[in-house]
Structure 1
């Protein structure tokens, strides 16, 4: 026994040395990648010829994003977020697109919020205020940003510059305030809320009603939705299981200024999959607490959706329910891997091994989501109700996919209303391989027309933000707040695989209808933050089949032969996607 102990003692320092070497090597790699990207940024800013091309800036943004993904809480994370803002700001100076300036705002905002104690946080706030004031014509927002900088970072190197800009904003906007411009007064900041708070700027002044709690669950996944009558700040905490006290894994969500409705039960025993029980109580008179008990937890995400306001909790469990390590909070953490570029025709060879492993070398089951339904008609113009026509195409597509050997599931097969978050939850619970959401577009400008396909990501254009706002049933002004939340969520989604699938579907649809003489316009593949795609564990896309607000396109959409061709195009693309995976697996 003595010898064994000594060997163990000898092995322990060696193990620690190996771990230290591994961590040091990883840090050195990130440091090297960061310096390379930084030098490329500086070179691109100076090279007026190369700086004209949007693709050069987006490639550089991807490099910084990969560094951030590799260690989202590391020493370089705040610097990377700052330079992702700089990249988009420099791009915007050349593209003159407000969407590029808004992307810069999102990154600066995230840097300042996530890393409040870092020395670059005041730099991020200062540049954020400049973009808001000079480029987005948002003087009020810029002044609020500067108020935060001047209150929080009084010893920062940007303090004097912030004072000067604050004076300029007050001087240009309100001459009466010039006398007090030398000492800008910030609003009293609210106490920091642990973990994540809602995207609302402030909690409702009156008590909000907790209307109910719903769930969709399986043996390794559950989505719980807390329905509220209005906006509410929230905070949450995860508690590990304690077998000695017979306590399971618990996640509780505290909702400020919220009271449970009389119809809400205090205890709901579930025992459905990994979800065991839902309990509702009031730890203090004006706060509602929802406690979720689980059999096992590997990863979890908490985020809010709007109109109506609800808090969504996604939880995944390890296979077999065996808990081998503490769960990961994906609301804060992100997956540790570098993204690869997606091919325009097939999933990229460098990305395919991961994809093949996840999909079991093939694609078997597809879930078709006919958008809207029931009380929600969707877009309605020129004798078209979106909910009716997308259901018609969904059934056409389902028959074609079954003929090609796919298993087909539907989120709805009749005219019923299903909340957006329940659609993706159904796909996750059923463990489908692909998710396709069908929609018909509309625009105030009647000359706008064309087919377009989307995947989940930040909206890169005004048009994409408009479409996302319409499908999410929120205003375009709220998309920026949503994109801030989405930044964490999208890094854990099948973003690249979804983009590859979207490119195949878009190309196939346009090719199929044009081959039969229809002069349909292709609006290409776009990205946007759609509620219906958030949290999907499989490649997922949203297809806009055309614009019913355009009289010519509406006439096409009323033609069953044309709809059949669109369904043919989608079915052929999904078949190609599956075949590409099989071909790779056979290599």
Structure 2
């Protein structure tokens, strides 16, 4: 009897599924017919293209795992692209980019390689050459045999003509930050955070320094391991810094320093299994940051697992067609302790964002089984570089930094969400300069280095995450949307996971400040962020 009921239920389910898919095919063919018509017609408006593109998107949204989903998403993006060519409206170009990027990130189909190429081409049209190079790199890495690789090489050649690669290379490979003061640079300390596949080392200085980085391969004759070293010019070590610091985390065996030659201090990293590294300098306070990633030695991994105290087990959820599993979230309430952030009308940014962060953690704990960590859960100061290192060390899948904005224009209001990237946007640079406690000139110096780092970052995923959170927060608190933007925020540099920085409003605006003063509004901000994060998480965890 039970078997018969099960058979009938299965049969009914299959019948409805096949009917639903048949309807989907009809909608798809109808949208294709519309596209063919408007392409041939001379008297159609831009709105006709938009309506057709929306038809294709609805087909994708109804069944993102169906065999038609990637086709519909591709034609949605292509329709916007055709509209741009015909009417030269930049909004169409932006929409085309959004959907090509969505397709490339989420599907491994015949259209994915072309979507990467077209996204790169749109970035090229927008003169965002860093993002264009990033898309080309992803295309060549994921689809090396695609015919689009040849087109991508031609596009890359055009990009190189519009940039100055030699200058970029110089700023990255031989970083030269010079101080206006001729006195010695004092090396005050060496700190590090690590796990089996990531290490961040910070060399604390009293002021910016000129330095060079070098990589030496393994020397079997002298029995020397592969080494990364940084020469810091016109410097000397002050304080009690051990000459040898044992790390033994699977990537770095030890850190050591010594006097290389007159006026030059050499800091050496003896490596075990390093795959990639980046070296950059931050200011206020001055420090050199070294990020190292790679595949850890299996015996060391096993030893560490046996000796470590295991935290609670977090069961894996079913991975979606997008191939991602999100299990760990790091919430970063900005500023703290001696750093109040912006300060208006008796309110301090550090207090507001801590309250929002604690409320956000509570929402995750009450409604999900995800692991949630905070860079700070009380009023303490944490350097910017420690926050990302904390997320990397704990293998976070998402990093969210929460802030409140301020402006000289007291009428400025609204919400904006940032991802890490270089930018020429003056207003974005002003926000980054404040959050970084840096000058715009120092940010300009940093952007040359970031061009290299960003090519290996989670820019693509971060943009999708930022859009989800931005839309949700704006909808939830009924506030003005300033959009998703890109800027060089120190706190996001080196993140190995999708990472965003949210400016939840303007404390300098008296009306918004009154809202920030209430517990209720802070809770609403947390709920808006939570719902945006969960929309992203559920999508990529296959729910």
Same fold (TM over 0.5): yes
Contact 1:250 1:293 in 2 (8 A): yes
Name 1:450's counterpart in structure 2.
414
The yes-or-no answer on 1:271 pairing with 2:248 is: yes
Q: After superposition, where does 1:278-357 map in structure 2 within 5 Å?
A: 278-321=255-298, 356=323
Q: After superposition, where does 1:365-514 map in structure 2 within 5 Å?
A: 365-405=328-368, 406-514=370-478
Choose 311-320 or 438-447, whichever is displaced more. 311-320
Q: Judging changes above 3 Å, is the alpha-carbon distance between structure 1 residues 300 and 527 closer, same or farther for their aligned structure 2 residues?
A: same
The yes-or-no answer on 1:210 pairing with 2:187 is: yes
Residues 150-205 of structure 1: CA deviation (Å, up to 9, x unaligned): xxxxxxxxxxxxxxxxxxxxxxxxxxxxxxxxxxxxxxxxxx8993213x366752
* SS of aligned partner of 2:451: helix
Alpha-carbon distance between aligned partners in 2 of 1:237 and 1:312, rounded to the nearest angstrom: 14
TM-score (norm 1): 0.63
Residues 248-276 of structure 1: CA deviation (Å, up to 9, x unaligned): 33211101111111332222223345332
Residues 218-261 of structure 1: CA deviation (Å, up to 9, x unaligned): 11110001111112111122233456655333211101111111
The yes-or-no answer on 1:231 pairing with 2:208 is: yes
Contact 1:452 1:526 in 2 (8 A): yes
CA-based RMSD of the aligned residues comes to 3.2
Q: Where do 5+ consecutive residues of structure 1 fail to align?
A: 1-43, 87-106, 116-191, 324-351, 515-519
Q: After superposition, where does 1:8-87 map in structure 2 within 5 Å?
A: 50=88, 55=93, 58=123, 60=125, 61=127, 66-67=135-136, 83-84=158-159
Return the offset for 1:65. Answer: 5.5
Alpha-carbon distance between aligned partners in 2 of 1:449 and 1:308, rounded to the nearest angstrom: 30
Q: Judging changes above 3 Å, is the alpha-carbon distance between structure 1 residues 218 and 68 closer, same or farther for their aligned structure 2 residues?
A: closer
Q: Judging changes above 3 Å, is the alpha-carbon distance between structure 1 residues 485 and 54 closer, same or farther for their aligned structure 2 residues?
A: farther
Alpha-carbon distance between aligned partners in 2 of 1:63 and 1:49, rounded to the nearest angstrom: 23
Alpha-carbon distance between aligned partners in 2 of 1:459 and 1:537, rounded to the nearest angstrom: 21
Alpha-carbon distance between aligned partners in 2 of 1:487 and 1:195, rounded to the nearest angstrom: 12
Name 2:530's counterpart in structure 1.
571
Contact 2:357 2:402 in 1 (8 A): yes
Name 2:305's counterpart in structure 1.
none
* SS of aligned partner of 1:372: coil
The yes-or-no answer on 1:552 pairing with 2:511 is: yes
Q: Judging changes above 3 Å, is the alpha-carbon distance between structure 1 residues 78 and 506 closer, same or farther for their aligned structure 2 residues?
A: same
Name 1:259's counterpart in structure 2.
236
Residues 258-313 of structure 1: CA deviation (Å, up to 9, x unaligned): 11113322222233453322211111120011111233212111111122221111
Alpha-carbon distance between aligned partners in 1 of 2:328 and 2:211, rounded to the nearest angstrom: 37
Name 2:165's counterpart in structure 1.
111
Residues 293-346 of structure 1: CA deviation (Å, up to 9, x unaligned): 2332121111111222211111112144599xxxxxxxxxxxxxxxxxxxxxxx
* SS of aligned partner of 1:298: strand
Contact 1:368 1:410 in 2 (8 A): yes
Q: Where do 5+ consecutive residues of structure 2 fail to align?
A: 1-81, 95-121, 142-148, 301-319
Return the offset for 1:66. Answer: 3.6
Q: Judging changes above 3 Å, is the alpha-carbon distance between structure 1 residues 474 and 215 closer, same or farther for their aligned structure 2 residues?
A: same
Q: How many residues align?
A: 403
* SS of aligned partner of 1:482: helix
Alpha-carbon distance between aligned partners in 2 of 1:52 and 1:268, rounded to the nearest angstrom: 54
Alpha-carbon distance between aligned partners in 1 of 2:376 and 2:179, rounded to the nearest angstrom: 36
Alpha-carbon distance between aligned partners in 1 of 2:359 and 2:518, rounded to the nearest angstrom: 13
Contact 2:343 2:507 in 1 (8 A): yes
The yes-or-no answer on 1:196 pairing with 2:174 is: yes
